Amino acid sequence: MLFVLIFSGNSFNGYFCLFFCLGGGGKRKGRSKKWREILRFPHISQCTELSKTIERDYFSLCDKQPIGRLLFRLYCETRPELQRCIQLLDAMEDYEVTPDEKRKSRGDEIIKKFLTKQVALHDYLSGAPFADYQNSMYFDRFLQWKMLERQPITKDTFRQYRVLGKGGFGEVCACQVRATGKMYACKKLEKKRIKKRKGEAMALNEKQILEKVNSRFVVSLAYAYETKDALCLVLTIMNGGDLKFHIYNMGTPGFEKERVQFYAAEICCGLEHLHRESIVYRDLKPENILLDDNGHIRISDLGLAIKVPDGEQIRGRVGTVGYMAPEVINNERYSMSPDWWGLGCLIYEMTAGRSPFRARKERVKREEVEKRVQEEEEEYSDKFSEDTKAICRMLLAKDPKQRLGCQADGAAGVKAHHFFKNINFKRLEAGILEPSFVPDDTHAHTCRAEQQRSG
């Protein structure tokens, strides 16, 4: 999707233009006059109250929020004395994702051209330029965008399409925003099932957690609404299937090392972003890791995730048998340690084609699996390279105090392990690294059929 802001003289037009490339359904599908009208900006006079109440923080308005960042940069481009600041910020961001072998020469170019630090730039921009920006038409446009975000969302905002999968509280369907044509996944939590299973707190918790997280490695919440029968979460659509399907249904179980490294690195980044918000995920397993059309992954299903109060630990015997850490099974207090155990389980399973403490489809009681987790050491076949074996052993340490990721350096310690020596995490987090595997439509359709049979 591409949007273009249209200028007319010294002011914006009443509409912003949206251009879409959508397959099928006719040229007008999702772009009717009625729904385009919904995207008309309110008159700036209607934003007066919002202008008084919105928090005017430079980093929030001009750096963190995508539309605010764009509008502030457009404003700076109209001021000759600020243009060089924006050029330097862009150069610094480009440097962060430059391949290692080219970084020195790129850094030298930046030093020669600018000779300034990025922090000092933001300090300068957050002063007088930020104050002037708030009195400009660009900030007025930002307020209009925020007013658009406040429009009520109902089921009529969307077109509903095929069922993608089924879960404990209902089904997940593909849906399309009528006004823009953008596709999402709509997770419908049926109220009767929620009430029957006493899952009200879990449903509310998932929504609140999703609202806090902004990561390319965790499914994003775009909208939320309710109908008479269901609570609906409109999420990032992931058409490539889940890791469980790809591990076990695409030839010999398991992946080659390069693919394991890539998925593990993206999962590590997703966990890091959750942990920055003091959120522990607690349900890391292959079926909760979804692939998009391009082969990138996102962590999904945050129903068991929980925010850990600052400086505290929590207790909760939750998760999936075979993937729960020893401290969870023992009902001990913990913070983020179960997630690093879960990453160890995933790296092991992606490599071996089986989970570390239970063979696929093995009939064994829960108590026996938990005993294995607590007492037995996992076995390593010749599928494991030395560094793969090493990171698994460090992540699957029974004592969380000895576990990789649980020391003061947290996720940074995991990223620094030799197993990830070929991963440039800056480029990965910027979305520049290309996956070695890209799912096609056949994978997606087969996976959906499998999900519906097992759902």
Q: Is residue 42 one of the residues assigned to a domain?
A: no
Residue that finishes a domain, picked among 150, 174, 203: 150
User: Where is pLDDT greater, at 112 or 354?
Assistant: 354
pTM of the complete model beyond 0.85: no
210 lies in the same domain as 251 = no
Residue that finishes a domain, picked among 213, 237, 261: 237
> What pLDDT is recorded for position 348?
98
> What pLDDT is recorded for position 453?
46
380 lies in the same domain as 270 = yes
User: Where is pLDDT greater, at 44 or 394?
Assistant: 394
> Does residue 14 have a pLDDT over 60?
no
> Does residue 372 have a pLDDT over 80?
yes
Question: Domain of 346: which CATH number?
Answer: 1.10.510.10
Mean pLDDT of 222-242: 94
> What pLDDT is recorded for position 125?
87
* 274-303 pLDDT, tens digit each: 999 999 999 999 999 999 999 999 999 999
Question: For a pLDDT cut of 70, what percent of the chain falls above it?
Answer: 89
Mean pLDDT of 112-121: 66
Confidence band of 1 (pLDDT split at 50, 70, 90): very low
Question: Domain of 69: which CATH number?
Answer: 1.10.167.10
Judge whether 196 is annotated as a binding position.
yes
Catalogue the active-site residues.
283
> Does residue 23 have a pLDDT over 50?
no
Mean pLDDT of 80-87: 85
Phi and psi at residue 371, to the nearest 5°: -65, -40
Q: Is residue 48 one of the residues assigned to a domain?
A: no
* 127-180 pLDDT, tens digit each: 999 999 999 999 999 999 999 888 899 999 999 999 988 878 889 999 999 988
- The Cα–Cα gap between 446 and 239 comes to 11
* 184-211 pLDDT, tens digit each: 999 999 999 999 988 888 899 999 999 9
Burial class of residue 380, CB neighbours in 10 A (0-12, 13-18, 19+): middle
> What pLDDT is recorded for position 12?
43
Phi and psi at residue 51, to the nearest 5°: -60, -35
Q: Is residue 259 one of the residues assigned to a domain?
A: yes
Residue that finishes a domain, picked among 237, 267, 296: 237
* 319-359 pLDDT, tens digit each: 999 999 999 999 999 999 999 999 999 999 999 999 999 98
Q: How far is CA 201 from the centre of its chain?
A: 22
- The Cα–Cα gap between 341 and 330 comes to 14
Confidence band of 400 (pLDDT split at 50, 70, 90): very high
Give the chain's domain count.
3
- Average pLDDT of the chain? 87
229 lies in the same domain as 246 = no
> Does residue 396 have a pLDDT over 80?
yes
> Does residue 387 have a pLDDT over 80?
yes
276 lies in the same domain as 366 = yes
> Does residue 100 have a pLDDT over 70?
yes
58 lies in the same domain as 122 = yes
Range of the domain at 164: 1-35+152-237
329 lies in the same domain as 403 = yes
